[in-house]
C-alpha cells in the first residue's frame, strides 16, 4: 500500500497573490505582503504543513452505468462513472492531507479576534493542500505508466456528480487511516485540510484538469475554493 510523506515546492508570496485572481488588485498591498511573508515564515518555523499521501489501486470486477464493483467487494457509485471513466479497468483511490496544525492555528487566531491573519492562513493552507493534491495525481499517473496503462483526471467526493456519501468508501480504499485521516458522520474528513479522489486506470483514458471540472460543477458560483480562484486560471 503506497503511503508516504510528500514535500511539495514551498509556497511564496507571489503564489498566494496569484491565487486571488481578480481580487488581487483589491487585496494586494504592502501590509498584506508583509503579513503573508510573516505567515510563511511561521509555517516553516513551526512546521505547520505536514504533508501525507496514501493511495491504492483496485481492479474493477463488475460494472454498470452508475456503479463499479471492485475486487474485495467495495462499490463506487456515481451517476457519471461511465461518462468519465468508460475505459477504466482499475480504480486508484487516493487521499492527501497537510495535517491539522494550520487548522488549529486558524482557530486560535479567530479566537484572538485576528480575523485577517486567520483568513490568510486558511487560504495558504487551502493552496498548499491543492498543490499536494496535484502531486498525488501526478504520483498516480506515474504508477499507471509503470503498469503500462494511463490514468484519467480526478473525481472528488462532494462534487455534483460524485456524492459526498462516497467519502467513507474512498477513504477506506485509499488507506487513509494509515496516515491519520478519519471520517465524520456528515461526510467530512479530518484533518479538515484533506482531499480525497479517485482516478480511473486503463487504456486511452479520458483526462481533464481540475479547472475543467470546476467549470461545470453546480457549486461553481458559490464555492470559495474552486480551482479557477486558487490558481488565477482554469488549470
SS3 69: strand
Q: Which candidate, 145, 148, 137, places its Cα nearest to that of 93?
A: 137
Count of other CB atoms within 10 angstroms of residue 67: 14
Instruction: Say how far apart CA 87 and CA 103 lie, in whole Å.
Output: 39
pLDDT on residue 186: 77
Contacts 24+ apart (CB under 8 A), 61-69: none
Instruction: Say how far apart CA 36 and CA 17 lie, in whole Å.
Output: 9
As given in the structure block, the three cell numbers for residue 119 are 483568513
SS3 10: coil
Rg (CA), the chain: 18
pLDDT on residue 234: 34
Tell me, what DSSP letter sits at residue 55? Answer: E
Instruction: Give DSSP secondary structure letters for 151-218.
Output: EEEEE-TTSTTS-GGGHHHHHHHHTGGGGT-EE-TTS-EESSSEEEEEEEEESS-----HHHHHHH-T
pLDDT on residue 215: 66
Q: Which residue is associated with the grid cell 453546480?
A: 218
Beta bridge partners of residue 58, listed in sequence order: 91
Instruction: Say how far apart CA 61 and CA 76 lie, in whole Å.
Output: 12
pLDDT on residue 224: 45
The reply to whether CATH 3.10.310.30 applies to domain 3-207 is: no
Per-residue pLDDT of the chain (235 residues; tens, 9 = 90+): 688 887 777 899 989 888 887 777 677 788 889 999 999 999 999 999 999 999 999 999 999 989 999 999 999 999 989 999 999 999 999 999 999 999 999 999 999 999 999 999 999 999 999 999 999 999 999 999 999 999 999 999 988 789 998 999 999 999 999 999 998 887 789 999 999 999 999 999 998 877 766 666 555 555 544 544 444 333 3
* Domain residue extents for the chain: 3-207
Amino acid at each position: 500500500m503506497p503511503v508516504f510523506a510528500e514535500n511539495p515546492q514551498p509556497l511564496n508570496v507571489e503564489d498566494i497573490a496569484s491565487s486571488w485572481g481578480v481580487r488581487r488588485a483589491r487585496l494586494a498591498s504592502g501590509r498584506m505582503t508583509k503579513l503573508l511573508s510573516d505567515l510563511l515564515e511561521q509555517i516553516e518555523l513551526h512546521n505547520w504543513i505536514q504533508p501525507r499521501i496514501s493511495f491504492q489501486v483496485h481492479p474493477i470486477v463488475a460494472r454498470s452505468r452508475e456503479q463499479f464493483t471492485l475486487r474485495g467487494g467495495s462499490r463506487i457509485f456515481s451517476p457519471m462513472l461511465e461518462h468519465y471513466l468508460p475505459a477504466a479497468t482499475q480504480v486508484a483511490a487516493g487521499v492527501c492531507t497537510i495535517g491539522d496544525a494550520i487548522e488549529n492555528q486558524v482557530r486560535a487566531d479567530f479566537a484572538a479576534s485576528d480575523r485577517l491573519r486567520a483568513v490568510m492562513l486558511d487560504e495558504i493552507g487551502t493552496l498548499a493542500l491543492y498543490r499536494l493534491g496535484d502531486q498525488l495525481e501526478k504520483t498516480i499517473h506515474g504508477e499507471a505508466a509503470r503498469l503500462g496503462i494511463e490514468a484519467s483526471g480526478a473525481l472528488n467526493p462532494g462534487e455534483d456528480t460524485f456524492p459526498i456519501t462516497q467519502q467513507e468508501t474512498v477513504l477506506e480504499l485509499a488507506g487513509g487511516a494509515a496516515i491519520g485521516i478519519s471520517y465524520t458522520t456528515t461526510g467530512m474528513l479530518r484533518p479538515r485540510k484533506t482531499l480525497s479522489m479517485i482516478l480511473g486506470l486503463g487504456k486511452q483514458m479520458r483526462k481533464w484538469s481540475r479547472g475543467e471540472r470546476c467549470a461545470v460543477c453546480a457549486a461553481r458560483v458559490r464555492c470559495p475554493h474552486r480551482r479557477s480562484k486558487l490558481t488565477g486560471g482554469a488549470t
